[in-house]
Amino acid sequence: MEKVEKIFTLLSPFLSAYLVYLFAIKGKRKETDFQKEKDLNIILSNLLLVWHYLTRIEILIEILKSDGAKSIVPKKYFPMIVLKAGFLNDKCFLELDNSIEVIRKYDPILFFKLEGIGKTFDSVRKKFILPFLKFPNNKPEFIDATAGLLLNETLKDLEEYLETVAKKIDRDTMKRVRTYVSDHLNSINNDFIEEMNEKFYEIIIQILPDSLGAKPTYEQFVELAKTNEFKMSIEIPLEIIANNTIEGFIDIISGNPDISIEELQSVLDKRQK
């Protein structure tokens, strides 16, 4: 018994040092795993933001194809209002690539799979999707057969990336992502149309001169927008905005509410030179 005690006495410093080392390594691994999960969650969040951006474009195309869309903006100008009003955050593509860079030190294979996808999606968006939506007179069928077709394929790729990253976090996250995507595919997003109606109302209210008196409420504006007179009067200004910027249009109108359409176009043309 004394021999056993002596052996333990001799070994105890080494055993103690080993246990301290072992627990330190385990603690470090837990800390690393926790940080990796945090970084994966950031990547997943940025992927969802890109997915959200592209699904808004998908809804725009569906609105153009639909005869029952409850938009107070003439249907063909709806994409122009969405894209020019800064309603969508196009910084999400760059933010996605920046977040992917962090995962390089934890998971080189996942990094290899994801590296540069933000730039790729952004390039597809700019070069092959948005150009078809910038011209109000393009037929919905043409837009759907070009930008719509490519957008569908892009969203499929993006949803695969969503699942890949979600699976790396845990099974519950993967299920939640699948459910979220599925719910979007099986529903019509009328909320988006309502948001854009409100945005359009805000733009119009900004250019109405105070001399007109009390400005219409949103509800009154919606009713007014249903009249033929409104639809006819809004066509020319929207056509001008389509070829310029909303900010430039508002700046000129707010400074000179009595300006004619011809004078407005002349001022905008001079600014572009």
The DSSP-derived string for 103-166 is GGGT-HHHHHHHTTHHHHHHHHIIIIIHHHHS-TTS-HHHHIIIIIHHHHHHHHHHHHHHHHHH
Q: Are residues 178 and 247 in the same domain?
A: no
pLDDT on residue 48 = 95
Q: Are residues 134 and 248 in the same domain?
A: no
**80 lies in some domain:** yes
The residues of the chain scoring below 50 in pLDDT are: none
Q: Which domain does 227 fall in, by range?
A: 208-272
Q: Are residues 240 and 133 in the same domain?
A: no
Q: Are residues 134 and 260 in the same domain?
A: no
DSSP 32-77: HHHHHHHHHHHHHHHHHHHHHHHHHHHHHHHHHH-S----SS-GGG
Q: Are residues 147 and 219 in the same domain?
A: no
- Give the Cβ contact number of residue 19 at 10 Å: 10
What angle do helix axes 246-255 and 228-242 make, rounded to 10 degrees?
120
**200 lies in some domain:** no
Q: Are residues 128 and 241 in the same domain?
A: no
Q: Are residues 85 and 182 in the same domain?
A: yes
pLDDT on residue 166 = 94
Q: What is the pTM of this model?
A: 0.76
Q: Are residues 84 and 212 in the same domain?
A: no
Q: Are residues 110 and 212 in the same domain?
A: no
**235 lies in some domain:** yes
